[in-house]
Amino acid sequence: MFDFTNENVFLVSDTHFNHNKLVKSYPDHFDQVRKYDTTQQMDADVITMWNKTITDNDIVIFMGDFMMCVPGDDRYKNVFHSYFDKLNKGKQFYWIKGNHDEKLHQRIPEIEMLDNMQFVKGDKIYYVQHHDFGEVHNTMPNDINSNVVFVHGHTHQETSLSRFDYKCKNYIQNCVCWDAWYRPVNANELEVCG
């Protein structure tokens, strides 16, 4: 388990760079779209918010689903770098694999992707994964006490907090999916499981 007690930790998820179905102008967009007219506006805002928040002194945990809708394998690496190279990476960068990152993992194998992550920060223990804890329980601690913080991405929702049931108990989880926050989230802002 990582110890980030004296570190500034930011969590980001579901940037979905280049994902045209998330914007209003795309004729076949999803029922629920983000606030942008074009993917160019969305991508530029995501990069601006990220770089305005994350500095060279920070720990960054990216929780999956970096980009979508890249035509042709020959362009994939270039498109990835056109986004990734513009982002502040902090002094350490960790990548948790999202449900849309399989192609990215295959095309750019030098990216080390974790399935999940746990870290300590002060008196709190953070359990981090891409999927909602109500869907996937494989990272659950044996002892869930009031110092545990559950963090996930994946769920495109308006709110940053939700609840899930595990072993006949109900817990709070934090969603840092881009729809919930529209910015990288500092670990200190997150709620304990309650």
Among 178, 151, 156, CA closest to 49:
178
DSSP structure class, residue 138: T
Helices (H) and strands (E) in the chain, counts: 4, 11
pLDDT in tens, 122-163: 999 999 999 999 888 777 888 888 899 999 998 877 788 898
- Work out how many domains the chain is built from and give that number: 1
Query: Is pLDDT larger for residue 114 or for residue 75?
Result: 114
Q: Is 17 part of any domain?
A: yes
| CATH code, domain with 9 | 3.60.21.10
Contact assessment for residue 134 and residue 128, using Cβ atoms and an 8 Å cutoff: no
pLDDT in tens, 47-81: 999 999 999 999 999 999 998 777 666 788 888 99
Q: How far apart are CA 128 and CA 140, in angstroms?
A: 10
Domain that holds residue 38: 2-189
Q: How far apart are CA 20 and CA 30, in angstroms?
A: 9
Q: Is 194 part of any domain?
A: no
